[in-house]
C-alpha cells in the first residue's frame, strides 16, 4: 500500500490527480456547488458563471495532463494564460464591445500576463480542493491508498 499521508510529488504540492475516487468526486462536486451558489448569490451573469466554471475546469485538466502532472504550478499558469487569450479573442469576434484590431496585439500580451497570474491563483484553489479531498479520504478510509498513487 502506498502512503496516503503525503501528496503525489516530493515538493508537497497538491494538484488534480489523473484518477478520481469517491471522496474526490464528493469534494469536487461540493466545491463546484459552493462556487455556483456564491456566484448566484451575488447575481453574477450566467455567461460569466459559465466562464468561471470553464476556467477552473481547464486549470484542473491542465494540472492533470500537462508536463506529465509533475509541474502543476507551471501548468496552471500556462492554462490560465491560454484561457484568457482565447476568451479575449472569442469576445473580440463575437462580443459587441471587443477591442479594435489595433488594440488586439497589446491586449493579447496583457491578457497572457494577467491570465498566467489568475491561472496560478486558480491552480492554488484547485490544489486546495484536492488537499481537502485527501483529508476526507484519510478520515473515511485511512487504510486505503490514493487512486492516483502507484501500489508499492
pLDDT in tens, 81-138: 999 999 988 888 887 777 777 888 898 999 999 999 999 999 999 988 888 888 888 8
- pLDDT of 10: 46
In a domain, 28, yes or no: yes
Report the number of secondary-structure helices (H) and strands (E) in the chain. Answer: 4, 0
Residue 111, Cβ density class (10 Å: 0-12 exposed, 13-18 middle, ≥19 buried)? buried
In a domain, 9, yes or no: no
Q: For 5-8, which contacts have Cβ atoms below 8 Å and span 24 or more sequence positions?
A: 5/138, 7/131, 7/134, 8/69, 8/146, 8/148, 8/149
The x, y and z cell numbers of residue 129, run together, are 480542493
- pLDDT of 78: 95
145 — pLDDT class (breaks 50, 70, 90):
low
7 — pLDDT class (breaks 50, 70, 90):
low
Specify the number of domains making up the chain.
Answer: 1
- pLDDT of 39: 93
- pLDDT of 140: 80
In a domain, 17, yes or no: no
Q: Which structural domain range is residue 52 located in?
A: 22-140
In a domain, 54, yes or no: yes
In a domain, 12, yes or no: no
Element (H, E) at 83: helix 72-94
DSSP 8-state symbol, 71? -
In a domain, 1, yes or no: no
In a domain, 150, yes or no: no
Q: What are phi and psi of 42, to 5 degrees?
A: -100, 15
- pLDDT of 92: 84
Q: What is the pTM of this model?
A: 0.76
Q: How far apart are CA 152 and CA 40, in angstroms?
A: 45
pLDDT tens, position by position, 24-60: 888 889 999 999 999 999 999 998 999 999 999 999 9
Quick check: 8 pLDDT over 60? no
In a domain, 63, yes or no: yes
Amino acid at each position: 500500500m502506498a502512503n496516503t499521508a503525503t501528496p503525489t510529488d516530493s515538493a508537497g504540492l497538491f494538484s488534480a490527480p489523473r484518477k478520481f475516487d469517491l471522496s474526490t468526486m464528493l469534494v469536487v462536486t461540493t466545491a463546484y456547488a459552493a462556487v455556483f451558489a456564491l456566484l448566484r448569490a451575488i447575481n453574477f451573469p450566467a455567461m460569466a458563471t459559465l466562464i468561471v466554471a470553464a476556467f477552473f475546469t481547464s486549470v484542473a485538466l491542465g494540472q492533470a495532463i500537462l508536463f506529465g502532472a509533475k509541474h502543476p504550478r507551471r501548468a496552471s499558469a500556462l492554462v490560465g494564460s491560454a484561457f484568457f487569450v482565447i476568451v479575449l479573442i472569442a469576445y473580440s469576434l463575437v462580443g459587441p464591445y471587443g477591442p479594435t484590431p489595433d488594440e488586439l496585439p497589446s491586449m493579447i500580451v496583457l491578457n497572457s500576463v494577467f491570465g498566467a497570474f489568475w491561472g496560478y491563483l486558480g491552480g492554488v484553489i484547485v490544489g486546495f480542493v484536492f488537499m481537502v479531498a485527501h483529508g476526507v479520504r484519510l478520515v473515511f478510509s485511512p487504510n486505503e491508498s490514493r487512486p492516483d498513487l502507484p501500489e508499492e
